[in-house]
Amino acid sequence: MEAIQRAFPKMRVLMGSRAVIVNSTMPDSANGAPIKGGDTITIPYFNILGDELDEVQNEGDELTPVKLGQTKETATVRHYGKAVEITQWAQLAASYADPYGEVARQFVEMTQNKVENVLIATASSGLDSAYVQSVFDASTPKTIDYDTVIDAKLRWGDEQSNIELISVHSKVYGDMLKLKDSTGRPLVTDPNNAELQKFAGIPLKVSDRNTVVTVSGKKKYSSKIFKTGALAFWYQKTPSVRSEPNALADSDITAIHVYGAPYRYLRPNSGGSKPGVIEILTN
């Protein structure tokens, strides 16, 4: 239990991008009853104090308090879990390698992958068609290009600030790598430092968790552009970890249960009146 709880703060979703707010303040109970999977909860805005400090124009003037207002946006709590069996031999080998530390690391990695998977799906679930740039064509295939991404960005109108990330399937990434300007230079920029590659000026993440569906025998790929604070994953700080001995197998069984709510805000925490996600559909 201690190993898992120590490892959980290291969870990074969408490569730690600010597009996702990962917050561990979900309470264990509401109205006197434990929060469980399937419950409907009100999702708070976590970045609601503003982007910067106010300036005091004249000494003696008072600051205007920011009210921590309520939101009517709700989400459904989901229950995730995994069980693992650790043999007595593995416990004895702890002097050379820590089996519990390894289980904790893998639990966090599995949780991170699951959260990323559901958030990518949640990002476009119920998204208004005004924020979907579709060039998919079942008869004349259309792959992603520079103009398609620019047209997608323009669906935000004048709310172009705080664009954080574009997430694409590896096949779409391959199409991007083949794009070049008039002098033959690739449009995907590959910085020499620790920054991500960029396309159309947007940091680029490659993930095969992006949706792929088949329409009339042709694969349709979903890519997504995210603004800062577009998504949230609100979960309980302390995962439920239960262990019990298995006398017949001379082993311990450890199970972890995580309760959390993935959500796409109606408007991103970074500001603006429109959703913080644009979906692009291509061949």
pLDDT band at 283 (very low <50, low <70, confident <90, very high): very high
Note the pLDDT tens digit of each residue in 4-32.
Answer: 777 777 778 887 888 999 888 898 888 88
Residue with the bigger pLDDT between 148 and 93: it is 148
Q: Is the domain of 16 the same as that of 110?
A: yes
Domain that holds residue 179: 129-229+275-282
Tell me the pLDDT of the chain averaged across its residues. 87
Per-residue model confidence (pLDDT) at position 98: 76
Q: Is the domain of 121 the same as that of 9?
A: yes
pLDDT score of 96 more than 70: no
Q: Is the domain of 23 the same as that of 85?
A: yes
Residues 12 and 233: their CA atoms lie apart, in Å, by: 11
Out of 4-13, 77-86, 155-164, least confident range = 4-13
Residues 156 and 153: their CA atoms lie apart, in Å, by: 6
Q: Is the domain of 85 the same as that of 28?
A: yes
Per-residue model confidence (pLDDT) at position 67: 54
Q: Is the domain of 18 the same as that of 121?
A: yes
Please choose, from the candidates 256, 244, 253, 241, the residue with its C-alpha nearest in 3D space to the C-alpha of residue 87.
253
User: Mean per-residue pLDDT for 66-75?
Assistant: 67
Q: What is the pTM of this model?
A: 0.84
pLDDT score of 191 more than 80: no
Q: Is residue 35 part of a domain?
A: yes
CATH number of the domain bearing residue 10? 3.30.2400
Strands 251-264 and 240-246: antiparallel
Q: Is the domain of 118 the same as that of 252?
A: yes
Q: Is residue 149 part of a domain?
A: yes
pLDDT band at 71 (very low <50, low <70, confident <90, very high): low
> Is 164 in contact with 227 (CB distance < 8 Å)?
yes
Per-residue model confidence (pLDDT) at position 83: 86
Overall domain count for the chain: 2
CATH number of the domain bearing residue 200? 3.30.1930
Q: Is the domain of 114 the same as that of 173?
A: no
